[in-house]
Amino acid sequence: MNYNKMLGKRLADFKNLNIYSVKNGIVGQCVWYVRCRSIEKCKVDLGIYGNANTWYQTAVSKKLSLSKSPVSDSIACFSGGRYGHVIFIEAVESGTVYYTEANSNNDNKLSADDGVLKKQSVSSFVKRAGYQGCIVLTPKSREATKKEQYLTMKVIAKSGLNYRTNYKVTPSTYAGTLPYGTKVRVVKGWGWTTGGYTWYKILLGKKYYYCVKDWLGNN
């Protein structure tokens, strides 16, 4: 691909709702985007969840392939700000980083520049505030994260735990209520902070749902 000719053009196919959907996170967020783009381009789902500023250390703990220098087909991680930031590196050629990202303007929704190809020199890219390094998307990464891991927790809310199909507290997202004391399988390492709540991803039967962290405790 001639990346210079593609500058300013959207590489991500947001019309592919099998990938670019709420099942991979909060639509429009940077972590949602890099997860979807990794699946779309590299067929790799790292299985990393949570805010962007936790991704690099999570990758370290998972013993994934890492690089301190930007490399093609990798996720650049930044710890700056309240939640951090992650960027998908499409290619590194002749000292230039070609990358795509989402939510660079902090509007928390799909914008005209989300998924659009941009570039920056390698020397300038690594000097960005909070730069930690890159998670390299390799077959090893795919194999290491093929199976999700779970924690067993229990409902501590006396009135029960409401679980939802999405991260928004609205009537349309309500899926059911688990009674006090119910044991719940929580996806390990997963946690979103949005709308004043921190959310967990839970597995009930063969389906995933979401619930507010505060109403779960240690088993």
pLDDT, tens digit, 9 for 90 and up, residues 132-169 = 999 998 765 544 454 567 899 999 999 999 999 877 78
Give the range of the structural domain holding residue 82, as residue numbers without chain letter.
3-144
The residue from 95, 110, 144 where one domain ends is: 144
**Taking a C-beta distance cutoff of 8 angstroms, is the pair 125, 69 a contact?**
no
**Taking a C-beta distance cutoff of 8 angstroms, is the pair 187, 201 a contact?**
yes
Nearest to 90 by CA among 13, 34, 47, 130: 34
The CATH number given to whatever domain includes residue 50 is 3.90.1720.10
The mean pLDDT value for 192-207 works out to 82
The residue from 144, 163, 186 where one domain ends is: 144
**Is pLDDT of 24 > 90?**
no
How many structural domains is the chain composed of?
A: 2
37 with 71, same domain: the answer is: yes
pLDDT in tens, 56-115: 999 988 888 899 999 999 999 999 888 999 999 999 999 999 999 999 999 888 999 999
Return d(Cα 96, Cα 193) in angstroms, integer: 33
76 with 12, same domain: the answer is: yes
209 with 138, same domain: the answer is: no
The residue from 100, 127, 144 where one domain ends is: 144
- How do strand 207-212 and strand 197-204 relate by DSSP bridges? antiparallel
71 with 161, same domain: the answer is: no
- The residues facing 133 across adjacent strands are 77
